[in-house]
Amino acid sequence: MSSPTQKGYSEHQMGHTDHQKGLLITAIGGLILTVDIPLIRLADGGAWTILLLRTGSTLLAALIIWAIWRSLSRNAPQLVPGWTGLVVALCYGLTSVTFVTAVYHTSTANLVFILAFSTVFTALLSWLFLKERLRLGTVVAMLVMILGVLIIVGGSIGTGHLFGDFMALCSAFFIALAITISRASGKDMGFTSLVGCVLPLAVAVFMVSGEGFQVNAPWWVIFDGAVIMPISFFCLANGPKYISGPEVAMFYLLETVLAPVWVWMIFAETPTRDSLIGGAILIVALVAHSAWQLHEGRKRRATLAVSHPA
């Protein structure tokens, strides 16, 4: 019979394994998500047509995958786990609408840099509603990131990008809200994030019926919706089961670093000086904060290993 000390250490090992699993899942999701904006831009179409194709193909792919999974296993996750799932689906739906709107009303660099603000929103929401304590290093990183976003948004005044920047900020907030609610529920929200496409799809169908179907290369955005979005959002939406909300939000920031690079390589779109300055501040703050978290995690594990040797 195991002692309380051995049991505690065993539970710690399981928690550590779950944490590593969560980090891997969300890293895969965040990395795949970085090609989302370039694929939208390559499709070369109207905002509502792009939203229709992107969300429609995502929803169809999600339902097909879920139906196959359900037929093969009784353990397939629910599409929408209760009222909590409905709220999370609504948040992801609003994220999709505001995100695609932002793509067409601000630069890619501004969009992805402002989306980095989702980490600040997630940390604040986790502190307010989940009582997850904010450490001094996290507070400092958040304040620096706020400064970076203010520089980006300030540089957009008079350029016509202010509305797009606001839509990007709304998208960051809805992502943070979805992550926090998922974390609080502890439920599998992998398919819920994809079912959330119903709302933007309905809006897009209504808008396209009035203004017409406008797209030159639909296969790019169909590939984005049918392959990229299901994989990336399924992974990212499952992350809160294993790791904290702010940690999940940080993996969305791989897009912050890589999406402007892909767009610069494909479309030769050069970010503005203010966007680069603000973006650099955001990235430095994030990298420093992530390195600090890893260091603190190693210290805690080392301390526990000494206290409870195997």
Please tell me the predicted confidence (pLDDT) of residue 6: 52
Share of the chain above pLDDT 70, in %: 86
Average pLDDT over residues 248-253: 72
Q: What is the pLDDT of residue 225?
A: 93
Which one is predicted more confidently, 209 or 111? 209
Higher pLDDT, 288 or 180: 180
- Which amino acid belongs to residue 149? V
Choice between 162 and 10, residue whose per-residue pLDDT is larger:
162
Q: Which of 37, 98, 12 is nearest to 303 (CA)?
A: 12
> What pLDDT, on a 0 to 100 scale, did the predictor assign at position 9?
46
Whether the pLDDT of residue 5 is over 80: the answer is no
Residue 160: its pLDDT value, please? 66
Q: Locate tokens 């496409």: which residue? A: 197
pLDDT band at 14 (very low <50, low <70, confident <90, very high): low
pLDDT classification of 64: cutoffs 50, 70, 90: very high
Higher pLDDT, 300 or 218: 218
For residue 234 the two structure tokens come to 């399924």
Residue 266 has pLDDT above 80, yes or no: yes
CA atoms of 126 and 249, how far apart (whole Å):
11
Of the ranges 64-68, 144-148, 286-290, which is most confident? Answer: 64-68
What's the mean pLDDT when you consider all of the chain?
82
Of 249, 254, 78, 243, the C-alpha closest to 177 is 249
Task: Report whether pLDDT(13) > 70.
Answer: no
* For residue 310, pLDDT beyond 70: no
Q: Which residue has the higher pLDDT, 160 or 231?
A: 231
Query: CA nearest 115: which of 162, 149, 163?
Result: 149
In the numeric block, the tokens 């793509």 are attached to 103
* pTM of the shown model: 0.74
Q: Is the pLDDT of residue 113 over 80?
A: no
Answer whether residue 23 shows pLDDT above 50: yes
